[in-house]
């Protein structure tokens, strides 16, 4: 049976006790990428038992203070299941004593290419289904109230227009009736005067 040589770093990672051997292989490839491709310094690999996860820390060559400016790298596969809740849990666990809560996801592609994604502090997990349902109900109620208020406003405006038109029509009708009655009275007076004159002439 052939004996395979294992890189000392990979062997040391295996000995740390991570139960997910697949993630150990990814961590090793990310470690080599940080050292040889990214040319970072003070590259270290660590194991967190609570998360059962290997992660790495490293410092960019341009950073002078390695103790304060080290970044945390999470070696992951492109098929790894990542959720906001999981990222928050990792932040709370690995960054509890750090001012910078940011993390860098090191995603290994199938062709061994590693792509880095920086996750900053303040990531908010999505609402639970119950919270989302309550928010949706509040939005629907708000929309119904706004629609009803708009409808009532239009009804009041329409009533006000109708009342104004009715008052104007009544006023115009009153004025018209007054104008019509006035000539009739004058004509009646003229007729009375004419009758009196004719009577006087007959008596003579």
CATH number where 88 lies: 3.40.1350.10
- pLDDT of amino acid 45: 93
Residue 136 lies in a domain: no
Please give the pLDDT value at position 78.
86
CA distance linking residue 48 with residue 16, whole number of Å: 9
Looking at residue 199, its pLDDT comes to: 53
50 and 95, same domain (yes or no) = yes
112 and 152 inside one domain:
no
**How far is residue 36 CA from its own chain's centroid?**
41
Domain count along the chain: 2
Tell me which DSSP letter residue 95 carries.
S
Give the range of the structural domain holding residue 34, as residue numbers without chain letter: 8-119
Same domain? For 101 and 148 the reply is: no
pLDDT on residue 156: 86
Helices within the chain (DSSP H only): 8-15, 21-32, 66-69, 84-94, 129-203
| pLDDT score at 1 | 43
Does 113 reside within a domain?
A: yes
- pLDDT score at 153: 86
pLDDT for res 200: 53
Domain check: are 92 and 158 in the same one?
no
Mean pLDDT by runs of 10 across the 204 residues of the chain is 74 89 91 91 92 91 64 90 86 81 86 86 66 83 87 86 73 62 51 53 51
């Amino acid at each position: 049976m052939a004996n395979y040589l294992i890189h000392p770093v990979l062997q040391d990672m295996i000995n740390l006790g991570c139960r997910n051997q697949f993630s150990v292989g990814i961590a090793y490839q990310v470690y080599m990428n940080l050292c040889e491709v990214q040319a970072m310094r003070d590259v270290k690999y660590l194991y967190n038992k609570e998360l059962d996860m290997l992660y790495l820390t490293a410092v960019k060559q341009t950073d002078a203070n390695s103790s304060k400016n080290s970044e945390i790298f999470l070696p992951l596969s492109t098929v790894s299941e990542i959720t906001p809740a999981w990222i928050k849990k990792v932040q709370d666990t690995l960054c509890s004593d750090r001012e910078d809560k940011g993390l860098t996801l090191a995603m290994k592609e199938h062709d061994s290419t590693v792509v880095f994604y920086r996750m900053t502090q303040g990531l908010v997990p999505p609402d639970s289904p119950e919270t989302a349902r309550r928010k949706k109900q509040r939005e629907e109620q708000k929309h119904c109230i706004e629609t009803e208020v708009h409808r009532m406003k239009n009804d009041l405006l329409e009533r006000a227009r109708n009342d104004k038109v009715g008052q104007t029509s009544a006023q115009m009708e009153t004025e018209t009736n007054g104008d019509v009655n006035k000539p009739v009275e004058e004509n009646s007076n003229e007729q009375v005067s004419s009758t009196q004159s004719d009577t006087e002439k007959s008596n003579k």
